[in-house]
Every structure is written in C-alpha cells, then in structure tokens.
Structure 1
Amino acid sequence: MELDDAYANAAYIPGADAYPEKWAQAAATFRAQTLCELDLAYGESPRQRFDLFHPPRLSKGLVVFVHGGYWLRFDKSFWSHLAAGPLAHGWTVAMPSYDLCPDVRIADIRRQIVAAIVSVSQRVPGPIRLAGHSAGGHLVARASVPTTGARWQDRLVQTVAISPVADLAPLLRTSMNADLNLEAAEVAAESPIHQPQPKVPVTVWVGSDERPAFLQQASALETAWQCQKVVAANKHHFDVIEELAEPDSALTSTVLA
C-alpha cells in the first residue's frame, strides 16, 4: 500500500536478516549468566508473562523495557541482554511479552502492558522507569499518559520512547493494517500525540539513520508533548537500542536520569 515502503525498516538496514538470531543468542547467553526469574504471569494468556532481572545488590527501583515488532512479532526472549545497562547501576529490569495482532487489538496490548507494569510493581518497590522500542516505544508512551486511579503512576519518574510510533494514522495506509485492524477511533485513542502530556519527563530517542517516517514520528511526539528529543548519530532502527546493554552509554544514562 501507499506507505509500506516508508515503514519498511529491514529493507534499508544492511544485514537485517541476521539481527533476530543475534538478539536471541545474546539474550539467551545473558539469561544463563544473570540472576533472573522467568515467565512470571501477569495475565491469563500464555504470552502475558514477564522476565525479571535482579541486580546483585539492593534494588534502586524498577525499569520496564517493552519490545517492538509492530505489535505483530517478537517476544521478551529476544531482548534480555538489554537489561545489562540498568542492572549494572542497581536497577531491577522487567521485560514483558504480550499478545500480538491480529489476535488482539493495539488497545488490548496497551492494557496488557499496563497490567504487566502493575504486576511487577507489586514485586519491586521504588521508582519506576519505562523504556520501549518502536511499537514498545508507542506502548510506554501511551501507558505514561495520566490515568485516573493508576496508583503505579505515582511512582513513575521517567519514560524513554525509543523510535516510537507516536501517531498511528499513517499505519492505516500500510498493508500491516490487515492485521492491526486499526480504525479511526482507535487511532485517536491510542496515538500518544493525541493524548495529554505525562506528568513525568519523557525523552524521545531516535537514530539519525532511521527511515524518514520514524524521524517524523519522533518529531511529532516531541512537538505534541514538548519533550526532549535525542537523535543518536549513525544509528538505525535495529541498532539504536544496543546501548541499553552498556552501563555507561548515553541511552542507559537517559533511562536512569
């Protein structure tokens, strides 16, 4: 369809096909070497599970990382190694999976992520920081919108949306929508740019070498919420998240700021 190419990341990243296997191997190695609890339930479906990675000392609080994949693919098992940066600074890291479209709608996934945050926050005391990539960037941004009765938001201190889809409207003009099943009402309700600004600092993080559509998405959220935007030099949509595995990286420092 009209915008398929605009939102095609892999086609413009050299060696893109090798990334999922590389991620999965790094994640499995990390889990084998790290104190963690795996497949903790926060909901009824088999995918409503999270992994919890513990620092070797008393935790400073909770970082929740939400993965991407256009709400259509991947799960928590690909990203475990990205917990390394926050863990090194004494933060507990949670990584949830969630049901995928077309089995559920994007609004359902957002509710699942909130349920995951609530569940893990009951296990881990202290401040809460959210980070997410691509579709996960959308989900953490949307979850950060002030919500009546959301007591966990009283503990929220920072959100970092990495290469987020902040405006869902363009996806109506992609072939993906055959599975996303987006309609105008859901676009308005679930696009962060159409929602009130969170009460906590939000940083939009995007790679300089990303598709123009993702640079535009980052700018749209920056404008809508008057928040900080960082353009990471020489990073594309797949490697923009790698710095989370590095304790002293700029991205890790931003998540923990």
Structure 2
Amino acid sequence: MAKLDDAYANSAYIDGAEAYPGRWAAAAEAYRAALADRATLGVSYGPSERQAFDVFLPEDAPDGVCMFVHGGYWLKFDRSYWSHLAAGANARGWAVVMPSYDLAPQVPIAEITQQIACAVLAMAERFEGPITLTGHSAGGHLVARMLAPGLLPENVVARIKRVVPISPVADLRPLLKTSMNEDFGLDPAGAEAESPVLQPAPSVPVSVWVGGQERPAFLDQARWLAQAWGAEHVEVPGKHHFDVIDALAYPASDLVARLT
C-alpha cells in the first residue's frame, strides 16, 4: 500500500458503501423515465463514445443551465448514475447537463480536463443565459479547472454565475503517493499543472462544498481550495463523501440555491 492510499479511501469508512452505486443507478433510471421527453440522452460533444452528455429540461423554458460532472477518481462511473441529481435545479426552472468523459488510464487527467471544457462549450452553444458548474470529487476538480485562465473563452466565462466544487480533489500532488497514480501516470509537474489550488483566484463566485464527516484528506482539500481562492467554504454536518451530493435532488436545499 502506498503512503496515502488510506487517506484517500472513502468506501472503507462509509457504512454500506457497496450499496450506493446500485441505489444511484436505480434512482437515475427512474428520474429519466419520469422526465420522458424532457430528457435527451447521449448528445455528443467530442469524438469518443464517452464524450456525450444527457440533458434534463424543466417544465418551461429554462432560466439557465447547470452542468454536473461526476466523480470516481477519474477512473470509473459515467453520467447514467446521476440523472436524479438534476431534480433540484429542474424544479427551480434550470436545465441540467450531465457529461461522461473518457477515463484514466486510457487518457490522462489533463485530457479529461480538456474534454470537460469541450462539454461546457457545447452546452453554452445549446443554451442561452447564465451557466453554473458543479461536480463531485474528481468532478469537483474538473469544474474548478474550468476557471483556469484561458481554458474557456471569455464570452463563456462571462456567463458563469457560480462554480460549486463538491468534495473536490483540488491539489493533486498528494495523489503522487497513492497506488492510484499507477493509473493516473502523474509526475510532479503534471500534478501541479492540474491542481486548482495553484491556479489564480477566479473572478467567478465559487462555493466549495464538503461533508462534515468526510475523510480528513477531503476536508483538507476543500479547505485548501477555499483558502487559495478566497471562496465560500461550506462543511455540511453529518454528511459523508457519498451522501453529500444528495442535496442536489432537492429544490429547497442550500446547495441547489447556490446553483440556480
């Protein structure tokens, strides 16, 4: 075991962790069915099969569009597990876009970052009005990376109302000391280049979200990003790494209020 494997292990410290993916997938499938023709699935934004997103529309013309980027340490999952998390923003009149992306080790993390930038551009072309971005864990890293200078065109950045990284991996340098880096293939320069904490503080409002019962490493990661950027920092009492995202499904939640 590499030095920091345990520090970045989530499942081993969450009761019933093995049941979560199945519950997520079932809830997501049910939400897609309930939305019927207000769900458009598999919109391509890039050349590979996984470079596609699903679109979930509110009942009326959308007031804006929110992108949710999934986690899984850049190694697993896809957009089909998370559709139900669009419910909160949809109920408040916002469209929601959920992309998949190619995974490590087939592609490096830097390439995944570029893919999500392409997804944001495709979303911005599809929808008018304000944009918000949120993502969980590795997805939190990816939405934070969208605020790197020059990654997105200025006219798109100008439309971004807020970015909410949830339980983000904001400093990739500690991952050099994990076994996962065999798949990531990061070296020190690559880890630095992909670390949002080392980016200039953005002008876009940012709220960093994390569960109060998360692993100390993730509490640190969230705090580091909030401090580096002078951003809002919210620790949600009683929530761990797997259930901190549940609030996205509820229109009255503080998390959804930040995004809509």
Pairwise TM-score range, normalised by the shorter structure: over 0.9
- Give the whole-Å Cα distance in 1 for the aligned partners of 2:204 and 2:122: 21
Aligned to 1:22: 23
Q: How does 1:205-244 map to 2 (within 5 A)?
A: 205-244=209-248
Q: Secondary structure at the match of 1:217?
A: helix
Deviation for aligned residue 1:149: 6.3
> 1:61-120: per-residue Cα shift (whole Å, max 9, x none)?
110000000000000000000000000010000000000000001010000000001001
Aligned to 2:34: 33
The answer as to whether partners of 1:172 and 1:183 remain within 8 angstroms in 2 is yes
Aligned to 2:82: 79
The answer as to whether partners of 2:117 and 2:151 remain within 8 angstroms in 1 is no
Deviation for aligned residue 1:202: 0.3
The size of the alignment, in residue pairs, is 256
- Give the whole-Å Cα distance in 2 for the aligned partners of 1:180 and 1:148: 21
Aligned to 2:182: 178
Q: Which amino acid aligns with 2:43?
A: L
Gaps of 5+ in 1: none
Query: Aligned to 1:44, which of 43, 47, 52?
Result: 47
- Give the whole-Å Cα distance in 1 for the aligned partners of 2:39 and 2:100: 16
Aligned to 2:67: 64
TM-score when normalising by structure 1: 0.98
Deviation for aligned residue 1:148: 6.6
Q: Secondary structure at the match of 2:146?
A: helix
> Sequence identity of aligned pairs in percent?
55
Aligned to 1:245: 249
Aligned to 2:134: 131
Aligned to 1:122: 125
The answer as to whether partners of 1:146 and 1:153 remain within 8 angstroms in 2 is no
Deviation for aligned residue 1:146: 3.0
Q: Which amino acid aligns with 2:183?
A: D
Q: Secondary structure at the match of 2:258?
A: helix
Deviation for aligned residue 1:183: 1.0
The answer as to whether partners of 1:85 and 1:252 remain within 8 angstroms in 2 is yes
Q: Secondary structure at the match of 2:235?
A: strand
- Give the whole-Å Cα distance in 1 for the aligned partners of 2:152 and 2:12: 43
Q: Which amino acid aligns with 1:109?
A: I
Q: Which amino acid aligns with 2:23?
A: K
Q: Which amino acid aligns with 1:191?
A: S
